Amino acid sequence: MKYFTKEWYEKMQVVGFLAFPETEQEWEENVAWYQAEGRNFDALCREELEHRKQELLKFLPESFHPYIHAGTLRCQFPTTELREMAERWRQECYERNEAMRKEYRNYYLSIKDSLPSGAVQIYEKSLHDARVRSLEMPAKDTFIMILDCRGSFHYYTDVKLTFTGVKQLQCSDIHADSSWLYDEIYYTDAGFKLQVLFESPLEELTIIADNVLIEVLG
């Protein structure tokens, strides 16, 4: 099972989009800031709504659809009914997301002792927000990825990941400047399976390998 998929990420962007200002005063102050900057708040809201329309219709319950089609979902201070609907839906999403994270964490702990140390290090020293510098496959069973971790949570310099005994690799649209978002690791009879969600573009990497060596290059 994959947890951190493209579809999951797109849905979480909708969750963030559906956050409203707490008070009408806060809403009016936001509108006034745009006006002071010479920007048309209403036009910008409607453009963003149109840009997100297909994702909103895909992920939001039908009770939201009239607001989407009318162009009023985020373009005016929400009614009490809309705010309550949004808060319920967002809370349900957060609860499912938390349950999903706990479920994967429990799975990871159950396989940790069977994983190679490099795979454990990938999971426990998060590479979130690391940027790809280069990708290379010098041999049919070796895959090398160099990451810039200066904006990440660990290392704070370049690191080199060398996957050996590679049996499967899928990373078609990932390239230099793609950003590592979320990862999950699985135990397999063929070694371990790493799945990573990247952005810029939003794509998934899957690799099955025997081992991975992590070298700090800074």
Chain segment 124-151, per-residue pLDDT in tens = 999 999 999 999 999 999 999 999 999 9
Model confidence, pTM:
0.86
Domain boundaries, the chain: 6-109, 115-216
Compute the distance between CA of residue 63 and CA of residue 79 in angstroms, rounded to an integer.
14
- Tell me if 208 sits within 8 A of 190, measured CB to CB: yes
Q: What would the pLDDT profile of 166-212 be if each residue is shown by its tens digit?
A: 999 998 788 999 999 999 999 998 889 999 999 999 999 999 999 99
Q: Closest Cα partner for 152 from 184, 125, 120?
A: 125
Q: In 3-state terms, what secondary structure has residue 184?
A: strand
Confidence of residue 22 (pLDDT cuts 50, 70, 90): confident
Which residues are within 8 A (CB) of 133 and not within 5 positions of it... i.e. 6 or more apart? 146, 147, 148, 158, 176
% of the chain exceeding 90 in pLDDT? 82
Place of tokens 């089609």: 69
Q: What is the pLDDT of residue 16?
A: 92
Q: Closest Cα partner for 135 from 163, 175, 107?
A: 175
